[in-house]
Amino acid sequence: METPFSFGTIASGMQFTNRVEELSQLTEHFKYGTNTILISPRRWGKSSLVNKATEIISEQFPEMIIIKIDLFNVRSEIEFYNELAGKVLKATSGKFEDVIKTAKTFFKQIRPKISFSPSPDVEFLLTLDTDETLRQPDEILDLAEKVAQSKNKKIRICIDEFQNIGFFDDPLAFQKKLRAHWQTHQNTAYVLYGSKRHMLLDVFTSPSMPFYNFGSVIFLQKITLEHWKSFIVERFKASGKRISPHLAGLVAQNAECHSYYVQQLAQICWFRTKVTATEKIVNESFESLILQLSLLFQNLTETLTTGQLNFLKALIAGEKKFSSLEVIEKYGLRSSANISRIKQGLIKKEIIDDTTGKIEILDPIYKAWLQRYYFTR
Ligand SMILES: Nc1ncnc2c1ncn2[C@@H]1O[C@H](COP(=O)(O)OP(=O)(O)OP(=O)(O)O)[C@@H](O)[C@H]1O
Ligand SMILES: [Mg+2]
């Protein structure tokens, strides 16, 4: 039997809620070919949102070609070209023979090897000559656009986990190449998305960076408490159990409306509820989630410096004026310059974020663990 909540996979169907405005904005961008950059911290719902938008668009415009690329395991420029070329060839050609034909038509300078794949779920294997491709990636970067023009089609390329280009040998040079090609494309548009808010902000919104003004930047927000409430109430109901709007709100609040955790916590409550959820069940579920993750949190905490921990302690205690002498002394933070270093370190580790102007701990359950178990010791 299917459970009413899901986490860790793309939310779709009944498990996808709200995002009405974001969907309408994204689908407009798909329709008109506006390049889009979608940024949010981890697990707020970027992939699910883009996935849903592509579903809607495919229904509205079945002739539009939508290509999805996930860079989660792509760590070098050559792997990127391989992935891009492979996905574009696959999406724009039908059978194996067509793939060969497309490659022959559009690749003049590079000569990739294309062979039948022994694995049943991959149709063909593409092997690029590394030196040749890195010297002249132009044909790969323009492949989608060339094919789109020759077939008089619109292509939309969605690239997930885009922050992974940070692992490439020379990310800046790579960005320059992408931008130089992609900005000339007429029939092809791009949706680039990922976490590492700080890095992506820098890539897409710093005037000195190649991707500056490449497209419309959307900062994905959290789904609101009200929406989570009705979602949780509905999902309980659909499975023959009950939870009051008040308690559903408590579930969402405990998870600070963090998409992944709201679903996970709601799931734990649902499992523990026979017929009707109680406040005791909601509280115990929250406690159980914190404990489930405590080993992970312990390991994470071991990687932090004393200064970083002191800073988190001050943050959790609700301190705001970090550069005041009182706070510096109370938490042993030494100096403003030191605080600034500590902050950068924690941002880099994606433990805190300050892009909204307020410093926040990104993982609400880690925050609760620190508060209840770590700093009370
Ligand atoms: N619109 C939604 N409705 C309900 N649940 C959602 C929604 N979006 C996301 N979620 C929940 O959050 C989880 C994470 O979503 P998703 O993988 O889309 O986020 P992400 O931002 O792409 O994460 P990552 O940063 O890890 O790539 C999903 O598994 C699902 O449980
Ligand atoms: Mg994702």
**Beta-sheet pairing, 216-219 with 188-194:** unpaired
Q: How far apart are CA 28 and CA 34, in angstroms?
A: 8
This prediction has a pTM of 0.95
Q: How far apart are CA 189 and CA 66, in angstroms?
A: 10
CATH of the domain at 343: 1.10.10
| The one-letter amino acid at 57 | I
Whether residue 46 is found in the same domain as residue 121 = yes
Of 36, 49, 47, 99, which Cα lies nearest the Cα of 70?
47
* pLDDT, block means (10 residues), the chain with 377 residues: 91 95 98 97 97 97 97 96 95 89 93 84 86 94 97 98 95 96 97 92 93 95 97 97 98 98 98 98 98 98 97 95 92 94 94 90 98 91
Whether residue 257 is found in the same domain as residue 367 = no
For residue 46 and ligand 1, the question of a CB distance below 6 A is answered with: yes
Whether residue 351 contacts residue 361, with contact meaning beta carbons closer than 8 Å, is answered with: yes
Q: How far apart are CA 131 and CA 37, in angstroms?
A: 30
* Backbone φ and ψ of 320, nearest 5°: -115, -40
* pLDDT given for residue 247 in this prediction: 98
Of 194, 376, 369, which Cα lies nearest the Cα of 288?
369
**Nearest alpha carbon, ligand 1 atom 25:** 42
Among 219, 248, 282, the domain boundary falls at 219
Q: Which domain holds residue 160?
A: 19-219
Whether residue 172 is found in the same domain as residue 76 = yes
Residue 134 lies in a domain: yes
For residue 260 and ligand 1, the question of a CB distance below 6 A is answered with: yes
Q: What is the pLDDT of residues 27-77, one digit of tens each?
A: 999 999 999 999 999 999 999 999 999 999 999 999 999 999 999 999 999
Whether residue 161 is found in the same domain as residue 144 = yes
Whether residue 314 contacts residue 323, with contact meaning beta carbons closer than 8 Å, is answered with: no
**Nearest alpha carbon, ligand 1 atom 19:** 45
Q: How far apart are CA 15 and CA 51, in angstroms?
A: 13
Q: Which atom of ligand 1 is nearest to the CA of 42?
A: 25
The neighbouring-strand residues paired with 108 are: none
Q: Is 95 helix (H, G, I), strand (E, B) or coil?
A: coil
Of 242, 255, 270, which Cα lies nearest the Cα of 1?
270
* pLDDT given for residue 212 in this prediction: 95
Q: What spacing in Å lies between the alpha carbon of 88 and ligand 1's midpoint?
A: 26
Among 202, 219, 236, the domain boundary falls at 219
Q: How far apart are CA 28 and CA 53, in angstroms?
A: 10
Whether residue 186 contacts residue 155, with contact meaning beta carbons closer than 8 Å, is answered with: no
Nearest ligand to the CA atom of 11: 1
For residue 264 and ligand 1, the question of a CB distance below 6 A is answered with: no
The neighbouring-strand residues paired with 39 are: 194, 219
Question: Could you say which DSSP state residue 223 is in?
Answer: P
Q: Which atom of ligand 1 is nearest to the CA of 44?
A: 21
Look at the chain and report how many structural domains it folds into.
3
Burial 347-359 (b: 16+ CB within 10 A, else e): beebbbbeeeeeb
Q: How far apart are CA 240 and CA 40, in angstroms?
A: 34
For residue 6 and ligand 1, the question of a CB distance below 6 A is answered with: yes
Q: How far apart are CA 302 and CA 299, in angstroms?
A: 5
Whether residue 190 is found in the same domain as residue 267 = no
Of 97, 72, 96, which Cα lies nearest the Cα of 83?
72
Q: What spacing in Å lies between the alpha carbon of 315 and ligand 2's midpoint?
A: 28
The neighbouring-strand residues paired with 160 are: 70
* pLDDT given for residue 172 in this prediction: 95
> The tokens of 289 are what?
């989630």
CATH of the domain at 210: 3.40.50.300
Q: How far apart are CA 305 and CA 345, in angstroms?
A: 9
For residue 17 and ligand 1, the question of a CB distance below 6 A is answered with: yes
* pLDDT given for residue 138 in this prediction: 96
Nearest ligand to the CA atom of 264: 1
CATH of the domain at 279: 1.10.8
